[in-house]
Chain A
Amino acid sequence: MIAVELRKLFRRPRTWATIAVLNALPVLVAVLVRLTDLVPRPGEGPPFLSAVLTNGSLFPLAALAIVLPLFLPIAVAVVAGDSVAGEAQAGTLRYLLVRPAGRTLLLVAKLVAVVAFVLVTVLVVAAVGYVVGTTLFDAQPLTAATGGTSVSGTGLTQQELVGRTLTAIGYVVVSMLGVAAFGLFFSTLTDSPLAAALGALAVLVASSLLFTLDAASPIAPYLPTRYWLAFVDLFRDPILWRDVVRGLALQGVYVGVLLAAAWANFTTKDVTS
């Protein structure tokens, strides 16, 4: 069943179109930066972008930071929102269930497929970012001696840099799992994939908006988008673990609660689509 869902997702032209579009923005940014040599000053604009002029191998991080606020969550929300509601709308859900693909197993398979999509998307963005960054900009030969530069200004060895980049990718994946959980939950509530995706996005937009509002500060620590950019902290020296850990815990709670709700709803629901 899981293999079937993975096959369905990755044989679908739309999946790859989404990933392609997602990569277009960082590539465009890279080309513009290359042509104009203008970068935001450190601390403004997307993190890491200021650093790429001196070290192109930091561009994967910049690329992730560019797609993280909007593009990536939209893509994840669309795919997750489509997972169950899309089958319901097409009418294939009832035929899967009478095959029978057990409801719990189907939900797990959908979840695995969405997680795989998140992983593949983030890795492709990072990989394309690396290729673009190292071809367009001066890629300093990352020897153990030179390494990279942390956000705090101290040097990082290549080993450290690679390790931290992988950790950051993992962190972004976990952040997106929260979005996926919202999408999957809404997807079991409605028969319209559009409504499910918009529902998940509405949550994220509301969360980002509340985050900027002083009046909402009492609930700020619990907003799902609160710690998304905490992966930048991984590149400080020493690493600032506090927000990263909180971010992981918060996403864990959201994912757990939403998946439980999705399961409870889906396994007891009348399939009348």
Chain B
Amino acid sequence: MTSVVRTRGLVKRYGRLRAVDGIDLDVRAGDVYGFLGANGSGKTTTVRMLLGLVLPTSGEVELLGERMPRAARRVLPRVGALVEGPAAYGHLSGRANLALFDAAGPGGPRRTRRRRVEEVLEQVGLGGIDRRPVRAYSLGMRQRLGLAAALLRRPELLVLDEPTNGLDPQGITEIRELLLDLHRGGTTVFLSSHLLAEVEQLCTRVGVLDRGRLVLQDELATLTAPTGATVVHTPAADRVPAVLDGRVVAVDGSRVVVRGADPAEVNALLVGAGVPVTGLALQRPSLEEVVLAAAGSSLDRVEVHR
């Protein structure tokens, strides 16, 4: 599979702080890549380096197969980006803003500009927007406008830094649907977030950043693959160890974890011994458990001593 985003030994130092500390990202064509990390772990700094806004202290960045920032002029027209919140000219309307941004770079034919602007506004749910200046937009509307700007060039790669910031639950669902839709259309999505649930629902691959280091990078399906144990729910948990001698891993109230990757077999044994079974499932680690195990500290928090 071809790599869409590749970094090798990427480092960014701010004085003594290593904001990004030697990471090797590998995002492949067709991925929805979830880039997870606590506040201050270096997500935004990495995204800025991918886009050539911040120059790496050392290491390499390849975007769509070409070296950044050298090939920025060829590569960036094929990339849509949202970096740390949207931004627009407050005294102009949303449409005027999109038209200006489109005209500011190469590869946005003027002929199709109007149509493309209408299309992306429609896509992000701002189709009916009037001539109000952006100054008068709500936070969620600005976020949508930022997404619209990222989509304006029909990019092959979307780089989104916390795209659902400031959106209401319904808005978050809408954006998720939109991203999945684009993904089905062949767009690769690189999504940085500190929201585990968002990543779990959306992504096919996950990278976890902890204080500037990439501590985990794998397919979501592999990370949350069955552990080879079965979870049984029963009101008679105390009788399970006697039936399944030596196979019980843990008992927690009515929840019993049993070694064995065949729930049907476990069920048959228990029911045969007269133990009532109210629930039965293969055990899978949640993304949260995987991330906590890898990152070793709680997400969404900055350590006091660093």
Q: Mark A93-129, 1 if CB is under 8 A from B, else 0.
A: 0111111111000000000000000000000000000
User: What is the bound-complex CA distance between A270 and B55, given in angstroms?
Assistant: 6
Residues of A close to B106: CB separation below 8 A: 100
Q: Which of A7-15, A25-33, A154-162, A169-177 participates in binding chain B?
A: A7-15
Residues of B close to A92: CB separation below 8 A: 87-89
Q: Which of B84-129 contact A (CB under 8 A)?
A: 84-92, 100-106
Contact of A90 among B76, B84, B87, B100 (CB under 8 A): B87
Interface assignment of B51: CB less than 8 Å from any CB of chain A:
yes
B76–A98 CB distance below 8 A: yes
Would A12 and B91 be within 8 Å (CB), given that A100-B77, A270-B53, A271-B48 are in contact?
A: yes
A101–B104 CB distance below 8 A: yes
B104–A4 CB distance below 8 A: yes
Interface assignment of B83: CB less than 8 Å from any CB of chain A:
yes
Residue of B nearest to A86 (CB): B89
Interface assignment of B54: CB less than 8 Å from any CB of chain A:
yes
Contact of B100 among A8, A13, A100, A268 (CB under 8 A): A8
B90–A97 CB distance below 8 A: no
User: What is the bound-complex CA distance between A13 and B102, given in angstroms?
Assistant: 22
User: What is the bound-complex CA distance between A268 and B86, given in angstroms?
Assistant: 24
B91–A13 CB distance below 8 A: yes
Interface assignment of A3: CB less than 8 Å from any CB of chain B:
yes
Residues of B close to A268: CB separation below 8 A: 55
Kindly provide the distance from the CB of B75 to the nearest chain A CB, expressed in whole angstroms.
Answer: 8
Interface assignment of A36: CB less than 8 Å from any CB of chain B:
no
User: What is the bound-complex CA distance between A268 and B90, given in angstroms?
Assistant: 28
Residue of A nearest to B45 (CB): A272
Kindly provide the distance from the CB of A266 to the nearest chain B CB, expressed in whole angstroms.
Answer: 12
Would A98 and B54 be within 8 Å (CB), given that A13-B91, A91-B87 are in contact?
A: no
Kindly provide the distance from the CB of B116 to the nearest chain A CB, expressed in whole angstroms.
Answer: 14
Residue of B nearest to A5 (CB): B104
User: What is the bound-complex CA distance between A90 and B89, given in angstroms?
Assistant: 7
Kindly provide the distance from the CB of B197 to the nearest chain A CB, expressed in whole angstroms.
Answer: 27
A102–B73 CB distance below 8 A: yes
Residues of A close to B55: CB separation below 8 A: 268, 270
Kindly provide the distance from the CB of A82 to the nearest chain B CB, expressed in whole angstroms.
Answer: 12
Would A94 and B89 be within 8 Å (CB), given that A4-B100, A101-B105 are in contact?
A: no
User: What is the bound-complex CA distance between A102 and B75, given in angstroms?
Assistant: 12
Q: Which of B47-80 contact A (CB under 8 A)?
A: 48, 51-55, 72-73, 76-77, 79
Residues of A close to B86: CB separation below 8 A: 91
Would A100 and B149 be within 8 Å (CB), given that A4-B103, A272-B54 are in contact?
A: no
Interface assignment of B229: CB less than 8 Å from any CB of chain A:
no
Interface assignment of B81: CB less than 8 Å from any CB of chain A:
yes
Residue of A nearest to B159 (CB): A98
Kindly provide the distance from the CB of B142 to the nearest chain A CB, expressed in whole angstroms.
Answer: 10
Contact of A95 among B52, B90, B149 (CB under 8 A): B149
A94–B53 CB distance below 8 A: yes
A97–B52 CB distance below 8 A: yes
Residue of B nearest to A8 (CB): B100
A8–B53 CB distance below 8 A: no
A100–B105 CB distance below 8 A: yes
Residues of B close to A12: CB separation below 8 A: 91
Residues of A close to B51: CB separation below 8 A: 94, 97-98
Residues of B close to A97: CB separation below 8 A: 51-53
A95–B101 CB distance below 8 A: yes
Residues of B close to A7: CB separation below 8 A: 100
Q: Lowest 4 CB-CB distances: which A-B pairs, in order?
A: A91-B87, A99-B105, A100-B76, A271-B53
A-B pairs with beta carbons under 8 Å apart, 14 shown? A1-B104, A7-B100, A12-B91, A94-B84, A95-B83, A96-B101, A97-B52, A99-B76, A99-B77, A100-B72, A100-B73, A102-B72, A270-B55, A272-B54
Interface residues of A (CB under 8 A from B): 1, 3-4, 7-8, 11-13, 90-92, 94-102, 268, 270-272
11 new A-B contacts, CB < 8 A, other than A95-B83, A96-B101, A100-B106, are A1-B105, A4-B100, A4-B104, A7-B100, A90-B88, A92-B87, A94-B48, A96-B104, A99-B76, A272-B48, A272-B54
